Amino acid sequence: MVGCMLTGIFCIPQLGGKVADISLLNQLAAQAGSIVLTVIYCGVLTWLIMKFVDKTIGLRVTPEQEERGLDVSDHNERAYNN
């Protein structure tokens, strides 16, 4: 996000940039808008993927597996000797 915003700052001609027909505020607004859209896009897709995984294989283990311990239920061995 910082790099995206700094791209808008470093593109102005006063700092050696090649963009001459756009103001700093317009460029920063465009960069901020792209950040917002990217965060929304990634959030929505992550939510969809998690819903898909939850409906197919599930995101949680069963209460019995959780009580017994995942080291025993998944790997059939104990992590710590008691």
Query: pLDDT digits over 22-76, tens only?
Result: 788 888 999 999 999 999 999 999 999 999 999 999 998 889 988 888 888 888 8
Cβ contacts of 20 within 8 Å, gap of 6 or more: 13
| Whole-number pLDDT of residue 82 | 64
pLDDT score, position 22 = 78
Using DSSP, state whether 60 is helix, strand or coil.
Answer: coil
Residue 53's domain spans which residues?
2-75
Separation between Cα atoms, residue 53 and residue 51, nearest integer Å = 5
Number of independent structural domains in the chain = 1
> What residues contact 11, with CB distance under 8 A and at least 6 apart?
17, 18, 19, 27
Is residue 80 domain-resident?
no
- Please enumerate in sequence order all residues whose Cβ is within 8 A of that of 32, keeping only pairs 6 or more positions apart, or say none: 5
Question: Looking at the domain assignment, is residue 13 inside a domain?
Answer: yes
The more confidently predicted of residues 82 and 65 is: 65
In a domain, 82, yes or no: no
For residue 14, being part of any structural domain is answered with yes
In a domain, 81, yes or no: no
